[in-house]
Chain A
């Protein structure tokens, strides 16, 4: 039983029960909350945060943090929009470049943390600001928009957001990405080393493992996820505005923490992260369904995050007590 608690199983259970309770609450009180339209919205508004949060889970388990998620996603989407609208690149090529750019910035984050020994908080704060500025510079501070459903490239929306008859296709991509990252984190050397580094970096280093390599890889995975997330953001919202996007990383990090991943590193799960993403998404749509204004969503998400971290702190205390015995 202690093993379960230590590995975050208990919190996953808490988070999952919370998700069910919140869902049931809105199902009974909200307007049309159980309708297919609302269900689609819950799934659709979780796409991009979902990709960001899955990638961020790797970084946080490794004992780091990535504050550049939101700004990087927007910078990557702005680059795509600029190349598509102004340089006339084909859309598929823009998407490839968006993913490559974000992955490259992820690599930069990783190298700054491992080679330059910058604290992750500062390194990624720097890239966050850099991305905000870069997005504005390359677009000349004008907003960029991706193809609308009325344009020939409308397949973009029909492929990555939802199909013409309303199937939330993005949810399937997110599920597929979840399965892939789940395997990487739980079934491969990459995942094992990232967990180990988060638990005790020094011990891993002393046992001759290339800590820098695996740690950098965590940031690269995060960057890659952001790049993919930017495609889904663009397909869902079409318009991308320069100098926005900071704050989205906090939603992603909140989802990770709600899902039981410890900010201290070494403990965490992608299943939990997905639960966290859906808790935020259900809250977002649920509060509107009971006619509460937008600021309440931010407020209640804050409460949920505090609750989740409280459990995390409590669990760490329990775990250290066990160790002392």
Chain B
């Protein structure tokens, strides 16, 4: 018994020693090592992030800096990402590039970075609604511009039919969106409808934007030759998106459909599988990639789709971080978007952007 007791007290003593050792460690001065930039992504497993990583590594080579690219195992692993951010802050990097899984969970870390004078660059979706001044700049897709590119491509394909439209026999172009709340989807909805509106009006016709997203509305449908309508699913669930898509496809005088994200694309594909018919001559433009969408584009079912440019997202994030670390002024960068259709999607520089 004596042995047992003393061994317990001994271990307790050892624990106390360890804790004091750890605290003693605090006092030691930090070594001056190579300075580097931390890049904390939302995950690894999607091809999207692999391409972001390639981009950031290329920037590191071009700009001659060291980077450490890391990320949690999945997009629900918030605690892992917070631990990573804490650990990176402790390493005193020159700057941190961050695609936060949740803004709320990193607020104290952002404050700490600001206190330590470590600039934080947002990339991809960045750190939405972060307190003013705590994110130096963002490297992300300008969703309005990207969707505008989709409007231009669709307009090229339907230009002749649009020109023939009159108030008496109007035509319809529909945007299908999965929600009216997320910044990326609403940005694309606005971007597409306003660019299409401008193109139609620029051709000397009357146009209107109406539908489920009031912020996009313009003009009066009753007196327009071209009606641009926005349809938002009841919920982002695939069943509700499929129902919404069925309704969209059954509209009369339909010329084109823009699908603002993969959820909308999957809704249309499910509706077609369930028996809906894509009327002849209707041009469909999608957004993002994914297996179903890629197949629809390569088979010619869709006119084409818009993809973000993850390589540039990674590249520009590191480039902004280097600038910010050098004390230069930085501003948000649009990392651009690319159009892909059956003719170019096999080209290597496009193919690498088409993540599943």
Interface-located stretch among A29-37, A105-113, A208-216 = A29-37
Asked whether, in the complex, the Cβ of A12 is within 8 Å of the Cβ of B7, the reply is yes
Q: Which of A31, A42, A149 gathers most chain B CB within 10 Å? A: A31
Shortest Cβ distance from A266 into chain B, in angstroms? 14
Asked whether, in the complex, the Cβ of A38 is within 8 Å of the Cβ of B8, the reply is no
Q: Is the CB of A45 closer than 8 A to any CB of chain B? A: yes
Q: How long is the Cα–Cα vector from A65 to B71 in the complex, in angstroms?
A: 32
Asked whether, in the complex, the Cβ of A294 is within 8 Å of the Cβ of B72, the reply is yes
Q: How long is the Cα–Cα vector from A254 to B150 in the complex, in angstroms?
A: 52
Q: Which of A19, A42, A269, A294 gathers most chain B CB within 10 Å? A: A294
B1-42 vs A, Cβ < 8 Å mask (1 yes, 0 no): 001100110011011001001110110101101000000000
Q: Is the CB of B86 closer than 8 A to any CB of chain A? A: yes
Residues A41 and B86 in contact in the complex (CB < 8 Å), given A241-B78, A269-B11, A293-B70: yes
Shortest Cβ distance from A21 into chain B, in angstroms? 12
**CB-defined contacts of B131 to chain A, threshold 8 Å:** 150
Asked whether, in the complex, the Cβ of B3 is within 8 Å of the Cβ of A4, the reply is yes
Q: How long is the Cα–Cα vector from A3 to B86 in the complex, in angstroms?
A: 42
Q: Is the CB of A27 closer than 8 A to any CB of chain B? A: yes
Residues of chain A in range 153-186 having any CB-CB distance to chain B below 8 Å = 157, 161, 186
Q: Is the CB of B125 closer than 8 A to any CB of chain A? A: no
B97-125 vs A, Cβ < 8 Å mask (1 yes, 0 no): 00001101101100100000000000000
Asked whether, in the complex, the Cβ of B8 is within 8 Å of the Cβ of A19, the reply is no
Q: Is the CB of B220 closer than 8 A to any CB of chain A? A: no
Asked whether, in the complex, the Cβ of B91 is within 8 Å of the Cβ of A31, the reply is yes
Q: How long is the Cα–Cα vector from A4 to B9 in the complex, in angstroms?
A: 13
- Give the residue of A16, A238, A244 whose beta carbon is less than 8 angstroms from that of B14: A16
**CB-defined contacts of A269 to chain B, threshold 8 Å:** 8, 11
- Give the residue of B15, B84, B88 whose beta carbon is less than 8 angstroms from that of A274: B15
- Give the residue of A7, A37, A145 whose beta carbon is less than 8 angstroms from that of B90: A37
- Give the residue of B21, B91, B92, B105 whose beta carbon is less than 8 angstroms from that of A145: B105
Residues A34 and B90 in contact in the complex (CB < 8 Å), given A237-B82, A294-B80: no
- A-B pair count, CB < 8 Å, reads 130
Q: Is the CB of B346 closer than 8 A to any CB of chain A? A: no
Main secondary structure on B side of the interface with A:
helix
Q: Is the CB of B76 closer than 8 A to any CB of chain A? A: yes
Q: Which residue of B lies closest to A20 (CB)?
A: B18
Q: Is the CB of B89 closer than 8 A to any CB of chain A? A: yes
Q: Which residue of B lies closest to A245 (CB)?
A: B79
Q: How long is the Cα–Cα vector from A275 to B77 in the complex, in angstroms?
A: 25
**CB-defined contacts of B76 to chain A, threshold 8 Å:** 241, 243-244
Asked whether, in the complex, the Cβ of B4 is within 8 Å of the Cβ of A233, the reply is no
Residues A233 and B14 in contact in the complex (CB < 8 Å), given A41-B87, A294-B84: no
Q: Is the CB of B73 closer than 8 A to any CB of chain A? A: yes
Asked whether, in the complex, the Cβ of A4 is within 8 Å of the Cβ of B87, the reply is no
Shortest Cβ distance from A236 into chain B, in angstroms? 7
Asked whether, in the complex, the Cβ of A236 is within 8 Å of the Cβ of B82, the reply is yes
Residues A32 and B8 in contact in the complex (CB < 8 Å), given A145-B104, A237-B82: no
Q: Which residue of B lies closest to A282 (CB)?
A: B22
Shortest Cβ distance from A46 into chain B, in angstroms? 11
* Chain A interface residue count, Cβ-Cβ cutoff 8 angstroms: 55
Q: Is the CB of B83 closer than 8 A to any CB of chain A? A: yes
Residues A32 and B7 in contact in the complex (CB < 8 Å), given A16-B14, A275-B15, A278-B18: no
Residues A149 and B3 in contact in the complex (CB < 8 Å), given A34-B28, A42-B22, A241-B78: no
Asked whether, in the complex, the Cβ of B87 is within 8 Å of the Cβ of A38, the reply is yes
- Give the residue of B33, B83, B92 whose beta carbon is less than 8 angstroms from that of A41: B83
**CB-defined contacts of A37 to chain B, threshold 8 Å:** 89-90, 92
Q: Is the CB of A9 closer than 8 A to any CB of chain B? A: yes
Shortest Cβ distance from B307 into chain A, in angstroms? 26
Asked whether, in the complex, the Cβ of A157 is within 8 Å of the Cβ of B22, the reply is no
- Give the residue of A42, A237, A278, A294 whose beta carbon is less than 8 angstroms from that of B78: A237
Q: How long is the Cα–Cα vector from A197 to B91 in the complex, in angstroms?
A: 47
**CB-defined contacts of A244 to chain B, threshold 8 Å:** 76-77
Q: Which residue of B lies closest to A1 (CB)?
A: B3
Q: Is the CB of A100 closer than 8 A to any CB of chain B? A: no
Q: How long is the Cα–Cα vector from A186 to B7 in the complex, in angstroms?
A: 13
Asked whether, in the complex, the Cβ of B68 is within 8 Å of the Cβ of A149, the reply is no
Asked whether, in the complex, the Cβ of B11 is within 8 Å of the Cβ of A16, the reply is yes
Q: How long is the Cα–Cα vector from A284 to B72 in the complex, in angstroms?
A: 13
Q: Which residue of A lies closest to B108 (CB)?
A: A149
Asked whether, in the complex, the Cβ of A27 is within 8 Å of the Cβ of B87, the reply is no
Q: Which of A32, A186, A284 gathers most chain B CB within 10 Å? A: A32
Asked whether, in the complex, the Cβ of A238 is within 8 Å of the Cβ of B105, the reply is yes
A286-314 vs B, Cβ < 8 Å mask (1 yes, 0 no): 00110101110000000000000000000
Q: How long is the Cα–Cα vector from A1 to B86 in the complex, in angstroms?
A: 43
Q: How long is the Cα–Cα vector from A34 to B8 in the complex, in angstroms?
A: 28
- Give the residue of B11, B73, B90 whose beta carbon is less than 8 angstroms from that of A32: B90
Q: Which residue of B lies closest to A10 (CB)?
A: B7
Q: Which 7 A-B pairs have the closest CB atoms?
A: A37-B90, A36-B26, A34-B25, A288-B87, A9-B7, A238-B105, A271-B11
Known: A271-B8, A285-B90. 13 other contacts (CB 8 A): A3-B4, A4-B3, A4-B7, A12-B7, A20-B18, A32-B91, A41-B83, A41-B86, A41-B90, A274-B15, A275-B15, A284-B83, A288-B88
B-side residues, CB < 8 A to A, are: 3-4, 7-8, 11-12, 14-15, 18, 21-23, 25-26, 28, 30-31, 33, 68, 70-73, 76-80, 82-84, 86-92, 101-102, 104-105, 107-108, 111, 131
**Pairs across A and B, CB under 8 Å, 12 listed:** A1-B3, A3-B4, A4-B4, A9-B11, A32-B31, A32-B91, A41-B87, A239-B102, A271-B8, A271-B15, A275-B15, A285-B83
A-side residues, CB < 8 A to B, are: 1, 3-4, 7, 9, 12, 16, 19-20, 23, 27, 31-32, 34-45, 143, 145, 148-150, 157, 161, 186, 233, 236-239, 241, 243-244, 269, 271-272, 274-275, 278, 284-285, 288-289, 291, 293-295
